[in-house]
Structure 1
Amino acid sequence: MGNKRLDWIDIAKGIAMILVIVGHTVPNPSPLRHAIFSFHMPVFFFLAGYTFRPKPWRELLSGSVPRLLVPYLVLALAWQMPTFLMSGASLTGGTLVAELETILFASGVDVPGFGVAAVGMAWFLAALFTSRLLFNVLVRLFDRHGIGAVWQGVVCAAIAFCGLSVSRYFGVYLPLDLDLSCYIVLLMWVGYTARQRGLEPSVGKPLLFIGVGVAWLVLAALSGLELSSRRVDGFVVATVAALAGSYCVCWVSIALEKLKDVPVLGSFEQALVFCGQASLAIFAIHAVDWFIPWQTMPLLMTLPASWLFASIVRCACDIGLAYVIKKA
């Protein structure tokens, strides 16, 4: 396939990005939020693995730093400034140190035991950056030593379990989400292996799609997943549910890609392609719009199923603003 951009991957990213916005808008807790969170972030990490190529360190860093680390720093600061201003605290040396610690840990939730505040949604970019570095190490070691796919999976699963154990059971969160990245590399490895072995979803196998979808529904109901807080309730069940949900998104995306020449549906497909290509911009806008009280706006609160209208308005604002910026 070379380096040719695949529309279905952009469509999958677009679907996942919309689910991120909806997941942050629907009531918490709620069955819908639980279902969305069971797979919406794993989709991104699965696709990151699917498109991954092992690279020399200079090349990997030259691509990952400007694409992930720099946007992370910008978003982290954009999150911290309004948070600081709303707190009414005075700017002191101690405050600056606390802000630097927050940026260093890059945690989506407060770091227990250290008094370090959450960095907000920017955690995703820091975690993806660290995960890419860690995964590059693993893939190069696997290739160098000729380790087969089965043992690769065992190693990645063991690393994932150890990383979660450090954070969940010992309460130790590592800088730049390194503990969480240990789990993310397992999701990346599945995506990477799927491409290496030609295991992409096939629209010619609808019964497999239905079966995987049913498996996702059942397993998601029996587990819980929220990566920003290191919540993986039922390691095996939650991981399989996340991968099953990711498979379904990819299957739907491949099916939609085949409809690009169909009137109306083709326009919908192109809109999702745009959302995927502009996913970083939409994500950044969404991270900043966190301070807007979407769920409690008086106009929206008077409507039935207010969360649905809030989700539609929020998606329209975030995606529309990204479109304007991209076209400017």
Structure 2
Amino acid sequence: MGSKRLDWIDIAKGIAIILVIVGHTVPNPSPLRHAIFSFHMPVFFILAGYTFRPKPWRELLSGSVSRLLVPYVVLALAWHVPTFLMSGAPLTGGTLVAGLETIAFASGVDVPGLGVTAVGMAWFLAALFTSRLLFNALMLLFDARELGVVCQGVACTVIAFCGLSVSRLLGAYLPLDLDLSCYIVLLMWAGHTVRHRGLEPSVDKPLLFIGSGVVWLVFAALSGLELSSRRVDGFVLASIAALAGSYSVAWVSMAIEKMKGMPILGAFERGLVFCGRASLAIFAIHAVDWFIPWQTMPLLMTLPASWLFASIVRSACDIGLAYVIKKA
């Protein structure tokens, strides 16, 4: 369990962040968007669990606040302040309270019944912050009680189902995505268990990749998953699809990692590694590029499969800007 950074993890994050951009550019609804959403965000949470180790609370809070909570607030303000200024609405006490409620709930969609508006894509950072705290508490409890992997899995599944029931059945969204985080800890536990049980994919076992791909295709077609809106249609099927899709991404990432020594494919590998390591910066840039009408640009609209070209241009702009910032 060394601390050496694994390139395949960065490659997987790079693939996932590109799919985030594509998923937000393709037509909605569409089969491609449905397929992407079935696993692209779970990849990040599963990998977060894979690299997670229980920490003392002071260390965990210090790192999580600086790396997740502060960027979350900055990103939320970067979206909502310009939106408010462009609206021309007057700044009142009620407006400030509404803005604080939006930031406090951190919901990717409007909160039903409370009139709290969605915070936008920044929800991911807040949800990861809350999930890390919840998962740390669970792992410390599991270790203290010496619970086996089966009991841990059952506990995380029950917590996930209860969390979704709060939002999906009762319509009660909790601050900082706590209800959604109950489901996310199940994904984190899966990644954590994969690492500690040595269950990582192996490029020497292509049949496992083919099998996971088939499971993902079938189960994703029979279910639906969109974490920002707490939509998990078919709890078991959607969760298996998310795990199988993420497993497939990990397998592909390990295969790409082996290309690093090849002349042209090596550049492709290094590009994906950069995207993975800069995924937070790319995500932040993408979170505020909604002001650009990618899907309705006159030049792109004249092309066949305009969504494809819009996705390529949008990805290139977001990744290119992240590269410039990283090199500055």
Q: How would you bin the TM-score normalised by the shorter chain?
A: over 0.9
2:70 is aligned to 70
In 2, Cα distance between equivalents of 1:9 and 1:112: 36
Q: What is the aligned-residue identity percentage?
A: 84
Name the amino acid aligned to 2:119.
V
**Unpaired stretches in structure 2, ≥5 consecutive residues:** none
In 2, Cα distance between equivalents of 1:240 and 1:290: 31
In 1, Cα distance between equivalents of 2:17 and 2:36: 11
1:207 is aligned to 207
Shift of the alpha carbon at 1:83?
Answer: 1.9
Shift of the alpha carbon at 1:130?
Answer: 0.1
Shift of the alpha carbon at 1:294?
Answer: 0.4
Shift of the alpha carbon at 1:255?
Answer: 0.6
1:306 is aligned to 306
Tell me whether 1:260 sits opposite 2:257 in the alignment.
no
- Which SS does the other structure have where 1:121 is aligned? coil
- Which SS does the other structure have where 1:137 is aligned? helix
In 1, Cα distance between equivalents of 2:172 and 2:208: 40
- Which SS does the other structure have where 2:232 is aligned? strand
1:243 is aligned to 243
1:31 is aligned to 31
* Deviation digits for residues 226-282 of structure 1 (CA, Å, limit 9, x no counterpart): 000000000000000000000000000011111100111110000000000000000
- Which SS does the other structure have where 2:122 is aligned? helix
In 2, Cα distance between equivalents of 1:156 and 1:290: 35
1:198 is aligned to 198
In 2, Cα distance between equivalents of 1:173 and 1:85: 28
Shift of the alpha carbon at 1:86?
Answer: 2.9
* Deviation digits for residues 137-166 of structure 1 (CA, Å, limit 9, x no counterpart): 000000011000000000000000000000
2:326 is aligned to 326
In 2, Cα distance between equivalents of 1:98 and 1:71: 20
Tell me whether 1:294 sits opposite 2:304 in the alignment.
no
- Which SS does the other structure have where 2:181 is aligned? helix
* Deviation digits for residues 142-192 of structure 1 (CA, Å, limit 9, x no counterpart): 001100000000000000000000000100000000000000000000000
In 2, Cα distance between equivalents of 1:29 and 1:208: 30
1:273 is aligned to 273
* Deviation digits for residues 22-76 of structure 1 (CA, Å, limit 9, x no counterpart): 0000000000000000000000000000000000001101111110000000000
In 2, Cα distance between equivalents of 1:89 and 1:124: 28
Shift of the alpha carbon at 1:82?
Answer: 2.0
TM-score (norm 2): 0.99
Q: How many matched pairs? A: 328
TM-score (norm 1): 0.99
Name the amino acid aligned to 1:151.
C
In 1, Cα distance between equivalents of 2:127 and 2:92: 29
Name the amino acid aligned to 1:295.
Q
In 1, Cα distance between equivalents of 2:298 and 2:182: 43
Shift of the alpha carbon at 1:85?
Answer: 2.0
1:137 is aligned to 137
Tell me whether 1:116 sits opposite 2:116 in the alignment.
yes
User: How do 1:165-244 residues align onto structure 2 when only pairs under 5 Å count?
Assistant: 165-244=165-244
In 2, Cα distance between equivalents of 1:85 and 1:112: 25
In 2, Cα distance between equivalents of 1:245 and 1:85: 41
2:88 is aligned to 88
Query: Over aligned residue pairs, what C-alpha RMSD do you find?
Result: 0.5
Name the amino acid aligned to 1:144.
A
**Unpaired stretches in structure 1, ≥5 consecutive residues:** none
Shift of the alpha carbon at 1:290?
Answer: 1.3
Name the amino acid aligned to 1:255.
A
1:20 is aligned to 20
* Deviation digits for residues 205-239 of structure 1 (CA, Å, limit 9, x no counterpart): 10110011011000000000000000000000000
Shift of the alpha carbon at 1:293?
Answer: 0.7
In 1, Cα distance between equivalents of 2:179 and 2:87: 29
1:162 is aligned to 162
- Which SS does the other structure have where 2:123 is aligned? helix
- Which SS does the other structure have where 2:326 is aligned? helix
* Deviation digits for residues 275-310 of structure 1 (CA, Å, limit 9, x no counterpart): 000000000000010121100011100000000000
Name the amino acid aligned to 1:139.
M
- Which SS does the other structure have where 1:54 is aligned? coil
In 2, Cα distance between equivalents of 1:4 and 1:45: 20
Shift of the alpha carbon at 1:88?
Answer: 2.4
In 2, Cα distance between equivalents of 1:177 and 1:17: 21
- Which SS does the other structure have where 1:184 is aligned? helix
